[in-house]
Chain A
Amino acid sequence: MDWKRFGFIALIITALFGAVVMVGQSQQRPLLIITSMLATTISVATPLTLGALAGVFCERSGVVNIGIEGMMLSSAFFGWFTGMYLSNVYGWTLMPSIVTGTIVAVFTGALMGLLLAWLSVTFKVDQIIGGTVINILAVGLTGFLNRQLFFGETSLFGGTVPSSPGVYSAIHLPIKEIFAPMCGGGEICLENINAINRVFDQKPIAWAAIILVFVSHYVLFRTRWGLRTRAVGEHPKAADTVGINVERMRYLNVIIGGMLAGLGGAYFTIESIPSFEPLMTNGRGFISLAAMIFGNWTPIGAWAAALVFGSSQALQINLQLFRESIPEQWAFLQQSYVVGLTPYILTMLILTGIIGKTMPPAADGQPYEK
């Protein structure tokens, strides 16, 4: 990750934040707008961050994973279904059922990772086709189960979708409790501290994603495991010669990737909203891949790129709040099908390499033949 790239990321994020501040400043103080944008950005960047980390682990070991989208979708379904089933049929309370749901989501991701590894490492199937198989399988499987379990009178719950136990609530950091006395009763000061506190009041998976970024960085660049993973992805033959089991390393890294994608899938149905809809991941898995590429296959870079995409999504959400301040002739811009295009166009722009060439692992995408 070079400074030029981080500078570019900072520039885009500033521009997106600036746009919202400009639109909303007549209604709200800039600080409040910025903190609200930040809070949304961190939250919506969560699945992208986890997806990008999944991509980093897979590709650093030499396996291209375009199945992240499908991994997320199936994990979102099974995680949600587990929580819903446990609470409705066995009467479990909120936390145990959604924590179990999260574990099942991660496990589903691991199974999908195992399938990808089986296809691409053992059978040496073209990895892009392998990933596409996972994507199409996930759409078919979740669509079928969703319909089979919840629609029609003969279905599991007699044609109704039972209510889900709910979603994770935010972990409160006592920032305002610590700093409020310093305000001495000043109202604006209190408001500011509250707003800043809200940025840090993120839900568990969002926190986990941020922690995992640094854990992944440490694992990949500071441990023997990471060195071996990178060796397998750069020059499998050399790695094999010094006694590293290439196939085993690839299997394990793709499964780790699957688990990360699975946690990202859990975000959709266990942390964001308490329900499942077919195709709800809506391309986030593919955008994660763009974040991974833009981040030059490093965890921290990928996270920074995920924040760019997150802030473009936050822009869309926050513009809705200031709908009245947008002049009539610009009103169409805040329609979801106009602002909503930003991440997709940004992705294509990044892939052109105008922001500097990226360097994939040398053996990325190639099956290893002894």
Chain B
Amino acid sequence: MQPETQKKSSVSQFIQVVSETSLIPFLSIVTAMLIGGVIILLVGGNPIIAYMGLLEGAFGSVRALSETAIWSTPYIFAGLAVALAFRGGLFNIGAEGQLAFGAVFSSLIGYALPGWLGFDLPMWIHLPLTILVGGLAGGLWAAIVGALKAYTGGHEVINTIMMNYIALNATSFLLNGPMKDHAPLNVIARTPEIAESARIMPIFDGLRIHWGFVFALLMAFFVWWLLNKTTLGFEIRTVGLNPDAAQYAGINVKRAIVLTMLFSGILAGLAGTVEVTGLNYRHELGFSSGYGYDAIAIALLGKSHPLGVVLASFLFAAMRNGATRMQFLTQLPVDLISMIQALILLFVAADAIVRYIYRIKAKGERVTLTRGWGG
């Protein structure tokens, strides 16, 4: 009997923790949707039809579900990237650029490697290699910022933003020049199609959902394991909570900062890689616009917890996917969704507002990221 009750209590404890931590995000979503509804009314639309369209577009059919899963795949990776950095006390605004680099280099390996080698590679070598290179490209790009932070004190917020602009310029240079698709009639800045052997297979015939989605879920589990079950994860979290205490406890803070950014960048790079290898089979300029910034909202909404990130990614994916149907039904622009997402972010970030509206008492500590510049 004894173990049974113990198990029961731990389950109810788990439920209690989940409901407590998800209360504020949930109320934030509700509040943002309500304000969104008012905006729809103000511009002369019908919020009920709009939101029904949103739901139908996101979940209304098997196909819609598959598309929502596809949208959520890069979101999960990019959201995990930002969340992991948050846990290490770093704010990675550079997921956008890391993602672009992941996409560029994975497509390069995807289309050019067989040509360089002079023979076709089997899929079990080519695909993992493509994914690895894509992830590392994003990781190393981010690790530069980590190293600058660790060894010179250059603040990662501005540096990641600067690296975004550099990455996007570099991408545009590569896709317009050396890596441009030279197929006849092509005027778009995009790479050639990647080889069959570098593609992630769809899970079901006739649907676009691919194994990259499962990969994303596994990666969320991996990040949870890394953070909570390994020494490195413990170091990352300790540095995130209090770098001085971590230093005092004998943790190599500089190493932890560089590794946090490296892993964060790898995750962001994978977000670009799965889009290339699983969905588009090439990199096209501007495909990723906004993933990196949505990822910040997703990480905050998911409270920087891998499970929370997965759920928040589903929500954002459903909104993005459903928006097309909503626009079709009500002529409301898709950008409305960006507005609602910005409001969700506002309420999640400033949970005090939500607590004030719904009269909920504060509990626990707040995260502090701002520690002055160039510390």
Contact = CB atoms under 8 A, between A and B. Distances in A.
Interface of A: 64, 66, 119, 122-130, 132-133, 135-137, 139-141, 143-144, 146-148, 151-152, 154, 282-283, 286, 289-290, 293, 335-338, 340-341, 344-345, 347-348, 351-354, 357-358, 360, 364-366
Given A351-B155, A352-B152, A364-B372, A133 B350 contact: yes
Interface of B: 43, 91, 93, 148, 152-155, 157-159, 161-163, 165-166, 169-170, 172-173, 293, 296-297, 300, 331-336, 338-339, 341-343, 345-346, 349-350, 352-353, 366-374
B161 A286 contact: yes
Contact of B349 (A130, A151, A336): A130
Nearest to B149: A351
Contacts of B346: 133, 137
B93 A152 contact: no
Given A128-B369, A136-B296, A340-B169, 5 more contacts: A125-B352, A282-B165, A353-B153, A360-B374, A365-B372
B39 to A, nearest CB: 8
B367 to A, nearest CB: 6
Contact of A144 (B335, B366, B371): B335
Contacts of B170: 337
A interface, over-half SS: helix
Contact of B43 (A127, A148, A354): A148
Contacts of B372: 64, 360, 364-365
Most chain A beta carbons < 10 A, residue from B148, B341, B349, B371: B349
A129 B371 CA distance: 12
A139 B293 contact: yes
Contacts of B371: 365
Given A125-B350, A151-B333, A286 B338 contact: no
A362 to B, nearest CB: 8
Nearest 8 interchain pairs by C-beta: A365-B370, A351-B154, A140-B338, A147-B333, A123-B352, A337-B169, A352-B152, A140-B342
A353 B149 CA distance: 11
Contact of A143 (B93, B331, B338): B338
18 contacts: A123-B352, A136-B345, A137-B343, A140-B342, A152-B331, A154-B331, A283-B162, A286-B158, A348-B148, A348-B154, A348-B158, A351-B148, A351-B152, A351-B158, A351-B373, A354-B152, A364-B372, A365-B371
A92 to B, nearest CB: 25
A126 B155 contact: no
A141 B342 contact: yes
B333 A144 contact: yes
Contacts of A360: 372-374
A128 B91 contact: yes
A130 B173 contact: no
Most chain B beta carbons < 10 A, residue from A125, A140, A336: A140
Given A137-B342, A148-B335, A341-B169, A347 B369 contact: no
A128 B159 contact: no
Nearest to A352: B152
A119 B152 contact: no
Contacts of A125: 349-350, 352
Nearest to A362: B372
Contact of A337 (B159, B173, B350, B353): B173
Contacts of B370: 64, 126-128, 365-366
A293 B374 contact: yes
Nearest to A345: B166
Nearest to A366: B370
Contacts of A152: 331, 333
A133 B345 contact: yes
A137 B297 CA distance: 11
Nearest to B346: A133
B335 A126 contact: no
Nearest to A143: B335
A353 B369 contact: no
Contacts of A147: 333-335
A185 to B, nearest CB: 49
B352 A124 contact: yes
A123 B158 contact: no
Contacts of A135: 293
A360 B153 CA distance: 13
Most chain A beta carbons < 10 A, residue from B158, B336, B371: B158
Contacts of A144: 333, 335-336, 338-339
Contacts of A353: 152-154, 374
Contact of B350 (A123, A357, A365): A123
A152 B44 CA distance: 14
B342 A133 contact: yes
B360 to A, nearest CB: 14
A147 B332 CA distance: 9
A179 B161 CA distance: 47
B338 A139 contact: yes
A143 B352 CA distance: 27
